[in-house]
Chain A
Amino acid sequence: MITKPGLLAQTARIPERNAIVWRGAIVFKLIGLAAAIAATFVFSGYHLFQLTMVIIYAIAILGLNIVTGYSGQISLGHGAFYAIGAYVSAILMTQYNLPYWATLPAAALVCAIVGFAIGLPALRLGGLYLALTTFALAITLPQILKYRAFEDWTGGVQGIVLAKPDAPFGLPLSADQWLYLFSLAVGVVAFVLARNLLAGRIGRAMRAVRDHPIAAEAMGVHLALLKTKTFAVSALFTGVAGALGAIAVQYVAPDSFSVFLSIVLFVGLVVGGVASVAGAVFGAAFVVYMPNVAEKISKAAPDAIYGIILIAILFFAPSGVAGALARIAERVRGKDRFKDGIPLQGGTR
């Protein structure tokens, strides 16, 4: 018909190369996972705790990334879902004597429901309404948590102190080591689920809505419903992170969850790389370690150093750490993608 000879040969080559890249990516991930497990026995005390927090923030930022990075809806108040997750976990552990691991699904469910309820009206209005609604939620929440009427549950200003879980089945691990491995396991599950979701039909629809909502709707995507469900899922991930955070820190209090937490998550999102699953890990590492680094550089003005480093990163890697790495990988893999003039066939330019 209209197929020119020679085209098929090129067609056949591409999946083959993709398969190699894909296998490379798997190996890369396995090495990363092995290193993460090995870290349990390399680090201890505060350093291991910091690594635990990197995992927890990575899950939280992953949640924010699903709604902001992939479906293009800005949330300035995701810290609120982190707080809700943390409190659900703390209250269930102290008031209802639930084991710590069983509080995670509960936190997930509660945050998904709250996310859906908030997203439904806010996303219908579109534009920056979601950003402002979530921001308002993040501002309001700490004061609600302090509110007298809820004090029996929330512990008011004092918050709730939790017990540190021990390693189960008599495993020869310290409580810190177990907490780290438990968080790592939850993190791996969260990232696999997110990757599946984002790679398939639903993930494509999310990105389509972000790139061109009118065209997405013409292709049969129910905009309001998709955006609301996406927001709910995003709240779910961040809520699970909050629950893990409560268990890891062994303490929740209203002032741990100020608006600043939401901003920190947003910073982690942008630094790591918007619309990149791996970016969430880089962003989390920045969020956890950068304050220490800034402090080391200047005891007098750590915040200024933090700000300058942040601006420098955004200036040199506008698409975040993940974006910069992807570009480097592309360069290493070679620029031959456009050799042979393949994409120019039948073109006018």
Chain B
Amino acid sequence: MPARADQTPKHRGAGCRQRLLFFAAGRAFRMSALLEIRNVGIRFGGIVALSGVSFEVCAGEICGLIGPNGSGKTTLFNCISGIYRPSKGDIVFNGQNLCTIARHRLAALGIGRTFQNLALFRTMSVSENILVGAHHFGRTGFIANALCLPRVRREEDDAQRRLVELLELLELAAVAAEPVANLPFAMQKRVELARAVIGGPKLLLMDEPAGGLNHSEVDVLAELIRTLRDRFQMSILLVEHHMNLVMRISDRVVALEFGMKIAEGSPQAVQNHPEVIRAYLGGRAHAAVA
């Protein structure tokens, strides 16, 4: 992997524009839309959490999703991963309508996610947590496992190979056997990321991966997200309040407010969009980006 941390912002901007052109062309032919959010709406009692949200995420793209607190970002994630069923609209992934698919089948279809407030298996070790992410690859059942048949061992070896790769990549090898609850917050977030990535998702939903990280850690995370995208060839839908991070690594950004899409486009375009500036209380977004 070439190190990108030393690139100047100017270079990075140029790279993004190129990629954007590429994806713009793809969208024109409707070739590479991996995820289509079509007019999605959902309400909780009187609260309209999402209303008529539409956008697409293309194959290989990092799509940023921003918006003030309570604008519906996590709700949209929960709709995509089947935890909520939207009352209006469709979510189409790879040509399949997700709204009719059982939650536990989404991982095998290629949708992985992390959670805003960690959702780790607290009593289990780091390795075990990550291995659960590979559960859907397995075909062996209770009897085969109890008897420890050769195919169980083959399956376990495959999972272990993927595990070792991710432990190295995410610098978790030293704590692989630790109970996950003993780790500091930032490391727990990496465990969650590894758990999502080991499942080989085509689309990774990341809900505030930079939450609780300090400045240098955010820089490492930015590199990491891009590395993961390139290495595992997935699309990423990234919810994040850390504007610097979003604007730096997103190919495209979608902005929500009160459950509605208020802007969409290149990072520059979105961060200069008047609606976005207004939503972030007149220029707070600017301040964050600068």
Contact = CB atoms under 8 A, between A and B. Distances in A.
Interface stretch (B89-97, B146-154, B270-278): B146-154
Main secondary structure of the interface of A (DSSP, over half): helix
Interface in B107-146: 107-108, 113, 115, 119-124, 128, 131-133, 135-136, 138, 140-142, 145-146
Contacts of A210: 123
Contacts of B184: 343-344, 346-349
B187 A211 contact: no
Interface string A204-222: 1101101110111111111
A335 B128 CA distance: 22
B71 interface: no
A205 to B, nearest CB: 6
Contacts of B87: none
A148 to B, nearest CB: 38
Given A1-B1, A2-B224, A202-B141, A14 B121 contact: no
A193 B147 contact: yes
Interface in A262-290: 275
Given A2-B224, A220-B107, A221-B104, A201 B124 contact: no
A11 B173 contact: yes
A38 B50 CA distance: 70
Interface in B4-45: none
B187 A346 contact: yes
B271 to A, nearest CB: 27
Contacts of A337: 178
A95 interface: no
B177 interface: yes
A348 B213 contact: yes
Contact of A7 (B135, B174, B185, B224): B174
B48 interface: no
Given A220-B104, A223-B104, A347-B184, A233 B175 contact: no
| Interface range on chain B (Cβ under 8 Å from partner) | 35 or more
A204 B132 CA distance: 6
A321 B224 CA distance: 44
B146 to A, nearest CB: 4
A201 B108 CA distance: 16
Given A205-B132, A349-B185, A220 B199 contact: yes
A338 B177 CA distance: 12
Contacts of A229: 142
A212 B120 contact: yes
A4 B212 contact: no
Nearest to B148: A196
A197 interface: yes
A168 interface: no
A337 B125 CA distance: 14
Contacts of B190: 346
A1 B121 contact: no
A8 B169 CA distance: 12
A218 B3 CA distance: 33
A348 B124 contact: no
B156 interface: yes
B122 A348 contact: no
Nearest to A233: B142
A210 to B, nearest CB: 8
B145 A218 contact: no
A204 B171 contact: no
B171 A4 contact: yes
Contacts of A3: 168, 171
In this complex, the member of A8, A18, A219, A337 whose beta carbon has the largest number of chain B beta carbons within 10 angstroms is A219
A207 B174 contact: no
Interface string B78-109: 00010100000000000000000011111110
A345 interface: yes
A314 to B, nearest CB: 19
B223 interface: yes
Contacts of A215: 115, 119-121
Contact of B156 (A201, A212, A344, A347): A201
Contacts of B165: none
B121 A343 contact: no
A202 B168 contact: no
Contact of A348 (B128, B132, B148, B217): B217
A203 interface: yes
Interface of A: 1-4, 7-8, 10-11, 14, 18, 193-194, 196-197, 200-205, 207-208, 210-212, 214-223, 229, 233, 275, 337-338, 342-349
29 contacts: A1-B1, A1-B169, A2-B223, A7-B171, A14-B176, A197-B146, A201-B155, A202-B145, A204-B131, A204-B135, A207-B124, A208-B124, A212-B119, A214-B83, A214-B119, A218-B103, A219-B135, A219-B199, A220-B107, A220-B108, A221-B104, A229-B142, A342-B175, A343-B182, A343-B183, A346-B186, A347-B187, A348-B213, A349-B185
Given A220-B107, A337-B178, A342-B175, 15 more contacts: A3-B171, A4-B171, A11-B174, A193-B146, A194-B146, A197-B146, A200-B140, A201-B131, A202-B142, A204-B124, A207-B128, A217-B103, A219-B107, A343-B184, A346-B187
Q: Which 8 A-B pairs have the closest CB atoms?
A: A347-B184, A220-B136, A220-B107, A211-B121, A11-B173, A215-B119, A197-B146, A193-B146
